């Protein structure tokens, strides 16, 4: 009996050891993911994070939008040419398009990554090209229509200058009342930053491309780099938001694009906490790649897509609602809000509904919105009812109300 009893114990002991080892096997498909407190990742004592290309494109875009508006308080007609602006948008390495020598030396450009995501435009190049050409058209119109009328008083059908009430800011608009520089600025947020983040670098077609999964599993680094290709792709998504900010202590409002407007949404008490949610998802997703938990990685990508898409929609509604307050009394102020809202509506094309993996709005739906805004004499004629209708249509696709977003 004693011998049999010991045999049972021995077998039980072996079973226990086997189970314990199974719980700690290195190839566990879903290991625990504990996000670091900041976006700081190292290998062998050196950073494994890199997104310099994103920082470069954000800086290029800053110079572009600055050149588009020049100094609106000056009465000197801008000498900026269409070729100069086109050079900033479609920079060629070595050309002196920017004031920053490092940008001139770069092989990066804004245009090459505009409406160019793998998920949305790889098999839809015709629309991607059409969106790029829309930017080309806005740049052309700014130079051909707005710059020559720099000192002309704007009116319905007439491009020119219009000043906000009480000696406020001067706004330079086209004949529809649209500030083309604002249309370009806010549409770039979607077409460049959001599209590349949500629909390119966070997508499995990019993250898992080729041997990326096997290389990440084996910790095989990209040539002459301190990161795996998968780690780098996630970092590049991160860079379109934090590229000019402090990655380990982000302040937001660090540039004129996505960073600025996440800051604005965060400042609305109805949406407080959204910036922390996005930052946490980026940290957790990056750590999931480090520990090779791709299920958790994709779950965090979904959070980022949901929240960043919401930011675009909130700001579209916000500006339409803000314009209502001054549309009858201060057209310059209203036109400025409407121009920003117009750009954010264009940016809805690049949002990501994670239930369908499609934009929240189709191209035709967005065109319907912008056509309504610019119908007839455009902003000179638009009504509060139209602004409310568009605002409701946008908010209905999300989990916020017009009242929440518009305040």
Q: Is residue 9 one of the residues assigned to a domain?
A: no
Q: Is residue 24 one of the residues assigned to a domain?
A: no
Q: Is residue 314 one of the residues assigned to a domain?
A: yes
Range of the structural domain that residue 104 is part of: 42-406
Q: Identify which of 183, 165, 187 has the alpha carbon closest to the alpha carbon of residue 174.
A: 183
Q: Is residue 7 one of the residues assigned to a domain?
A: no
Position with higher pLDDT, 10 vs 258: 258
Kindly report, residue by residue over 168-206, the tens digit of the pLDDT.
Answer: 999 999 999 999 999 999 999 999 999 999 999 999 999
In sequence order, what are the residues at sequence separation of 6 or more whose Cβ sits closer than 8 angstroms to the Cβ of residue 209?
A: 229
Angle at 169 between CA 138 and CA 263, to 5 degrees: 75
| Whole-number pLDDT of residue 27 | 63
Count CB neighbours of 130 within 10 A: 12
Angle at 275 between CA 269 and CA 281, to 5 degrees: 140
In sequence order, what are the residues at sequence separation of 6 or more whose Cβ sits closer than 8 angstroms to the Cβ of residue 203?
A: 117, 118, 119, 301
- The predicted model gives 293-306 an average pLDDT of 98
Q: Is residue 284 one of the residues assigned to a domain?
A: yes
Count CB neighbours of 80 within 10 A: 16
Count CB neighbours of 217 within 10 A: 14
If one counts the domains in the chain, the total is 1
| Whole-number pLDDT of residue 12 | 39
Per-chain mean pLDDT for the chain: 94
3-state secondary structure of 32: coil
Percent of the chain predicted with pLDDT > 90? 92
Q: Is residue 172 one of the residues assigned to a domain?
A: yes
Kindly report, residue by residue over 1-53, the tens digit of the pLDDT.
Answer: 433 433 333 333 433 333 333 333 446 778 999 999 999 999 999 999 999 99
Kindly report, residue by residue over 56-105, the tens digit of the pLDDT.
Answer: 999 999 999 999 999 999 999 999 999 999 999 999 999 999 999 999 99
Kindly report, residue by residue over 107-143, the tens digit of the pLDDT.
Answer: 999 999 999 999 999 999 999 999 999 999 999 999 9
| Whole-number pLDDT of residue 252 | 98
Q: Is residue 301 one of the residues assigned to a domain?
A: yes
pTM passes above 0.85 = yes
H helices within 24-100, ranges in order?
A: 52-69, 82-89
- Structure-token pair, residue 63: 């110079």
Q: Is residue 36 one of the residues assigned to a domain?
A: no
- The predicted model gives 384-405 an average pLDDT of 98
């Amino acid at each position: 009996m004693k011998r049999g009893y010991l045999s049972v114990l021995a077998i039980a002991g072996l079973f226990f050891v086997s189970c314990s080892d199974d719980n700690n096997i290195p190839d566990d498909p879903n290991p625990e993911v504990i996000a670091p407190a900041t976006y700081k990742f190292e290998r062998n004592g050196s950073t494994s994070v890199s997104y310099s290309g994103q920082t470069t494109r954000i800086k290029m875009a800053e110079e572009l939008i600055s050149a588009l508006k020049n100094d609106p308080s000056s009465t000197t007609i801008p000498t900026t040419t269409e070729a100069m602006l086109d050079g900033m948008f479609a920079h060629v390495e070595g050309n002196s398009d920017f004031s920053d020598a490092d940008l001139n030396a770069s092989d990066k450009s804004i245009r090459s990554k505009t409406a160019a995501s793998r998920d949305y435009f790889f098999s839809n190049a015709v629309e991607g090209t059409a969106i790029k050409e829309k930017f080309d058209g806005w740049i052309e119109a700014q130079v051909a229509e707005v710059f020559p009328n720099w000192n002309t008083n704007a009116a319905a059908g007439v491009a020119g200058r219009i000043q906000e009430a009480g000696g406020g800011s001067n706004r330079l608009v086209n004949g529809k009342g649209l500030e083309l520089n604002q249309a370009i600025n806010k549409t770039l947020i979607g077409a460049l930053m959001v599209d590349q983040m949500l629909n390119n670098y966070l997508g499995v077609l990019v993250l898992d491309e080729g041997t990326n999964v096997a290389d990440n599993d084996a910790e095989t680094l990209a040539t002459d780099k301190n990161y795996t290709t998968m780690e780098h792709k996630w970092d590049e998504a991160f860079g379109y938001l934090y590229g000019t900010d402090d990655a380990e202590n982000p302040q937001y409002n660090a540039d004129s694009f996505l960073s600025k407007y996440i800051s604005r949404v965060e400042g609305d008490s109805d949406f407080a906490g959204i910036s922390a949610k996005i930052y946490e998802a980026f940290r957790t997703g990056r750590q999931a790649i480090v520990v090779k938990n791709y299920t958790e990685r994709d779950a965090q990508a979904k959070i980022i897509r949901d929240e960043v898409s919401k930011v675009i929609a909130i700001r579209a509604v916000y500006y339409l609602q803000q314009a209502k307050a001054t549309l009858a009394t201060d057209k310059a102020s209203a036109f400025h809000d409407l121009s920003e809202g117009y750009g954010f509506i264009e940016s809805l094309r690049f949002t990501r509904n994670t239930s369908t993996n499609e934009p929240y709005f189709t191209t035709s739906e967005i065109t319907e919105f912008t056509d309504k805004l610019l119908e007839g004499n455009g902003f000179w004629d638009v009504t509060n009812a139209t602004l409310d209708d568009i605002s409701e249509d946008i908010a209905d696709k999300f989990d916020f109300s017009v009242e929440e977003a518009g305040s």
